[in-house]
Amino acid sequence: MGLELALDEAAGIVLGLVLSYFSPMTPQEAQTLVQNGKAILVDVREADELAESGIAEGAVWMALSEMCDDTDQWRAFKASLPKDKQVILYCKSGGRSGRMAEFLSGDGFQAVNLGGLCHWKGAGLPVKPFRG
């Protein structure tokens, strides 16, 4: 692991801890919104992370790297997002999902950073195996 990646990971962990205290909603509230069709839950981690730890039940996947690289997949995903529903994002610790939430909010989406998958799991909410 390079120094830059290690520092990015450390910053993400610190940001995730801060967000866990100031998140605008709990994982349970997010789950209810998704179940009631009022929100979309998005996992922004990379495929290898999802293969290792699974994906929150009800979540869709769009890696932050796709957004950063402005790929066709990212543009199609963004075009498919409804502006009349909340877009609830999470990653490992809250750093990357915060970046995507900020970007989507700037484009008029109701984006919320939920934090990390650890918060979802810590609330006892279901996680399923990832089948990329």
Residues composing the chain: 132
Residues 37-64, mean pLDDT to the nearest whole number: 97
How large is the greatest C-alpha to C-alpha distance in the chain, in angstroms?
Answer: 43
Give the Cα separation of 56 and 68 in Å (integer). Answer: 23
How many structural domains does the chain have? 1
| pLDDT of residue 90 exceeding 50 | yes
One-letter amino acid at 43 equals D
> In the predicted model, is pLDDT for residue 64 greater than 70?
yes
Q: Please give the model's pTM, rounded to 2 decimal places.
A: 0.83
Query: 118 versus 16: which is more confidently predicted?
Result: 118
Q: Say yes or no to pLDDT of 112 above 70.
A: yes
Residue 57 reports pLDDT greater than 60: yes
Question: In 3D, which of 108, 110, 60 has the Cα closest to residue 85?
Answer: 110
**Confidence at residue 131, expressed as pLDDT on a 0 to 100 scale:** 85
Domain span at 31: 3-128
| pLDDT of 16 strictly over 70 | no
Q: Stretch 27-47: mean pLDDT, rounded?
A: 97
The CATH number for 8's domain is 3.40.250.10
Please tell me which residue, 128 or 25, carries the higher pLDDT value. 128
On the question of pLDDT at 38 being above 60, the answer is: yes
